[in-house]
Amino acid sequence: MSAASSVGDLMNTPDRGKNSLSRDQSAERQIARRLIEGHRSERAEGHTSARAAAAACDQLYRELSRWVGPDGCHALFTRALAQARTEYPALGQIQLRARSEPYIDGVAETIMAHGDPATAEGLEAMLVHLIELLGRLIGDDMAMKLIERSLAASDRGDPTSDRREEA
């Protein structure tokens, strides 16, 4: 099954959209994990789950910026981070750097302070909120289209996704 079709299947489950605010986030979570997975598998030795999650965020920021502009994309991430912080206080040191590479800053400090698993979980939660927010704003199917591009880029091994390692 291709990445795109699996995302489509996930976003189009029958009970989705009935109650956007209270629905369970399992579909968004699976998509977020697919995004992160694409960056984990090809990482160099010693790469952590949190860094893979941050790389997935960086790439999604780049891809979404093409469509909705860097400012529109930054606004989405800002809201998603704020929501994720209420559940994962470990994200307190994470900063979003609009129009910068890498986009997600403070990952190393957060890993140092809270450990890799907590940081990774927090960043994954941010992605989940972002996907959910995007779906509420433009519809799940359109959100899926945008995210597909990011998944396709990570499947291609987009060289820009290596920037996080260099940072």
Partner 1 sequence: MNGNSQERAVIRSLPSGVPGLDTVLGGGLPEYSFNLIAGGPGSGKTTLAHQIMFANASVERPALYFTVLGEPTLKMLRYQRQFSYFNPELAGSAIQFINLSAEVMERDLGEVLQRIIGEIERAKPGIVVVDSFRTIAGQPRSSDKGSGFDLDQFVQRLALQLTTWEVTSFLLGEYAAEEQRSPVFTVADGILWLTQATDRNSVVRKLQVVKSRGRAPMPGLHTFRITDDGLQIFPRIPEQTRKRVLKKRERLSTGVRGMDEMIGGGVISGDAVMLTGPAGSGKSTVATQFMVAGLAKGETGVIAVFEEYPEEYLARANNRNPEVGEMINAGKLEVIYLRPLDLSVDEALFAILEAVERLGARRVVIDSLSGFEVALAPTFRADFRESLYRLVGTLTATGVTVFMTAEVSEAFSEARFTTEKVSFITDEIIVQRYVEMEGELRRVMAVIKMRGSDHTHQFRTYEVTSKGVVVGGPLTEYDGIITGVPKLRAKPAKAKRGK
Which residues contact partner 1 (rule: CB under 8 A)? 65-72, 76, 99, 137-139, 141-142, 145-146, 148-149
- Residue pair 59/77 in contact (Cβ under 8 Å)? The answer is no
Q: For residues 52 and 156, what is the distance between their CA atoms, to the nearest angstrom?
A: 16
CB of 2 to partner 1, least distance (A): 14
CB of 70 to partner 1, least distance (A): 6
Query: Which is closer to partner 1, CB of 71 or CB of 109?
Result: 71
| DSSP-derived secondary structure letter, 90 | G
Q: Say which residue the tokens 């789950």 belong to.
A: 49
Query: Which is closer to partner 1, CB of 50 or CB of 144?
Result: 144
CB of 143 to partner 1, least distance (A): 10
CB of 49 to partner 1, least distance (A): 29
Dihedral Cα 7, 10, 147, 90, nearest 10 deg:
-120
Query: Which is closer to partner 1, CB of 9 or CB of 109?
Result: 9
Q: Which two tokens stand for residue 9?
A: 């299947």
